[in-house]
Amino acid sequence: MAEPTFHRGPGRIFRRLGPRAQVVLCQLPLTLFVAAIAVATPLAWPSLMQSPLYLSGVVLSGILFLGCFLVPWERLPHRPYLLIPVLDFVAIGLLRNGAAPLLPGLAVLVVFPVIWLSASGMLARSSLVLSFLGPFFIMLPSALAHAPSVTASDLTTVVLFPLMMLAVSLAIRFASVNLRLQQRELAEKDRELRELLAASREREKLLETVLDATDVGIAAVDRSGHFLVSNSRQRSFRQATGADEAIPGQGHQLIFGQDRHTLLPPDRRPISRAMAGESFADYLVWAGVGTEQRALSTAARPLVSEDGRLTGAVVVYTDVTGWVESLAANQDLISNVSHEFKSPLNSIIGNVDLVLEEPEPLPPQVTRRLLVVQRNAERLLSLVADLAASASTALNVHPKRTDLASLVETTIGSAQAWAERSQVEISADVPSPLWAYADPLRIGQVLDNLVSNAIKYSPDGGRVSISAEADRQWVRLSVQDTGMGMSREDKARVFNRFFRADAAQQAAIPGAGLGLSITQMIVERHGGTISCESGEGTGSTFTVTLPAEGPPPAF
Ligand code: ADP
């Protein structure tokens, strides 16, 4: 049913009522007024009790109110409830004209049916016409009563009052039309919002499905560490670490360092590092305990808003347990095998030495053969030592304040004879003393390896120069040669275990591809770095960076 239109609050309550209650409510204000006047009549205006018009107005008003209750509005086909305000005009006309000289102001009661009709939202034009004609016919009898001597004031009343009611009706119509337009706009916006919400839910579902389909754990966290997005893989890693609390940077979590046993301090956990704005890759941690323990390679990138503020981070977890375990098994095998090789080799070398040192001179041919055996056995022993060192996860370094200039001098001294034989000229431009925080034995080994490589991979002779520079934090040592150099692809793999460049193999230069991987391990255990610059046919430069004094901050 059409009813006076209210926007929200009372309007909504009104709309929920049944048609009967709505009609009763619309009629109630007028009925209350009429009832109040009727009750007051015997005392205030007793003469009105004699006015049949007035009394019939009161009765009609009562009948109309009863009608509101009794008529089954909901069952009627055209819902003729608007007949009530029209009949209200009749009742008010009877009341007003019956009480004319005493209570002319009763005409004002027409405002109730006018409001009802105008706000009903139906019969737009009819309601305007009724709002004018109703009051007009109510006022007309009093003007006609003065006929034929109708005054200007009579005419004004007859026309002005209906015009006022017409204005009221128009104002209500405008207001309700405006209200309806706003409601329509709101409903339209509401529909759009619902559609957007549904679309965004769809997208969210799609994203979740894609994320859950990957084999990698993914989590996005805000600055306070709350999860914005995470996939099922990441949640299973979290379960393994017992990290059920909302803030990942806090609380007890089973996240261990590379030794699998030392619990990581909260600020070294991947999410905490990411929340602090760090960007990293290949950060290996162990999650969980016992047979469930997993090795996770983690990476993080900060989330930055459009205005450049850090808003959180994305952390990615890759399960590398299988890879780490097979690497460990591989290293175990190498170190066991190399250990097993050492004793027989030492025995071969010792016995050959004994035979060579015999007082009885051996036939020259036998001596030559034994010297070949001795040389190859020693080469094998050094290879086995390299193998054992490269497989060792516990390569120990004992750094202390060390003068690198003297280490460079020692290295050049021991390589000089070989360099001369290979027609390689060695020079050094190193300030003395050059202090660094280093293990002299291990860094001596590094220098020996780099200088011997520089000579070895300069088969046509050339120049090897050692240079150094230092600032307050770091010391940089460079070993440069003018030898065969390497291609870009070879350069990228030069620190890999067992890597040998094709050119080096074709030139039949001996080697096992272990020296540089051990060198890198030693330098990194010092908290330093090693890098390589090289070009095919133009030579190579290896640069080692070591802490100048004391351990570096991240060490
Ligand atoms: P090895 O020398 O025993 O083969 P390394 O680990 O020391 O093992 O070196 C690995 C590989 O890197 C070498 O086989 C060689 O191909 C290349 N390489 C190392 N140093 C140089 C250099 N100074 N110039 C050219 N190639 C080099």
Q: How far is it, in rounded angstroms, from Cα 434 to Cα 404?
A: 5
Does 383 share its domain with 430?
Answer: no
Test site for ligand 1: of 448, 500, 522, 541, most ligand atoms within 8 A of the Cβ = 500
Whether 463 is in a domain gets the answer yes
Domain end marker among 391, 417, 445? 391
Does 229 share its domain with 301?
Answer: yes
Whether 348 is in a domain gets the answer yes
Task: Indicate which atom in ligand 1 lies nearest the CA of residue 518.
Answer: 6
Does 405 share its domain with 538?
Answer: yes
Domain end marker among 319, 354, 371? 319
**CA torsion sign, 51 to 57 to 62 to 67?**
positive
Q: How far is it, in rounded angstroms, from Cα 300 to Cα 232?
A: 18
Minimal-distance CA residue to ligand 1 atom 16: 501
Whether 208 is in a domain gets the answer no
Dihedrals φ, ψ of 448, to 5°?
A: -55, -45
Q: Cis check for the bond before 72: say yes or no (omega within 30 of 0).
A: no
From 226, 228, 199, 195, select the one nearest 211 (Cα to Cα).
228
Does 413 share its domain with 540?
Answer: yes
Amino acid making up residue 367: T
Q: Is the CB of 486 under 6 A from ligand 1?
A: yes
Q: What is the pLDDT of residues 218-276, one digit of tens each?
A: 999 988 878 888 899 888 888 777 664 444 445 567 888 878 888 888 888 888 888 88
Does 239 share its domain with 162?
Answer: no
pLDDT at 487 over 80: yes
What's the confidence (pLDDT) of residue 245? 42
Predicted confidence band at 291 (pLDDT cuts at 50, 70, 90)?
Answer: confident
Q: Is the CB of 522 under 6 A from ligand 1?
A: no
Whether 46 is in a domain gets the answer yes
Q: What is the mean pLDDT of residues 178-182?
A: 89
Q: What is the pLDDT of residues 21-53, one digit of tens each?
A: 888 999 999 999 999 999 999 998 899 899 999
Minimal-distance CA residue to ligand 1 atom 10: 513
Minimal-distance CA residue to ligand 1 atom 7: 515
Does 367 share its domain with 418?
Answer: no
Give the range of the structural domain holding residue 346, as residue numbers without chain letter: 329-391
Structural domains of the chain, count: 4
Q: How far is it, in rounded angstroms, from Cα 287 to Cα 271?
A: 13
Does 18 share its domain with 38?
Answer: yes
Q: Is the CB of 504 under 6 A from ligand 1?
A: yes
Minimal-distance CA residue to ligand 1 atom 20: 453
Q: What's 305's domain CATH number?
A: 3.30.450.20
Amino acid making up residue 267: D
Does 411 share its domain with 541?
Answer: yes
Q: What's 457's domain CATH number?
A: 3.30.565.10
Q: What is the mean pLDDT of residues 332-345?
A: 86
Whether 370 is in a domain gets the answer yes
Domain end marker among 319, 352, 376? 319
Does 477 share its domain with 412?
Answer: yes
The mean of the pLDDT values for the chain is 87
Three-state SS at 272: helix
Does 73 share its domain with 117?
Answer: yes
**Could you tell me where the beta strands, DSSP code E, fall in 205-351?**
217-222, 227-230, 255-256, 280-287, 294-304, 310-319
Rg (alpha carbons) of the chain, rounded to whole number: 51
Beta bridge partners of 475: 470, 546
Does 532 share its domain with 408?
Answer: yes
Does 343 share its domain with 256?
Answer: no
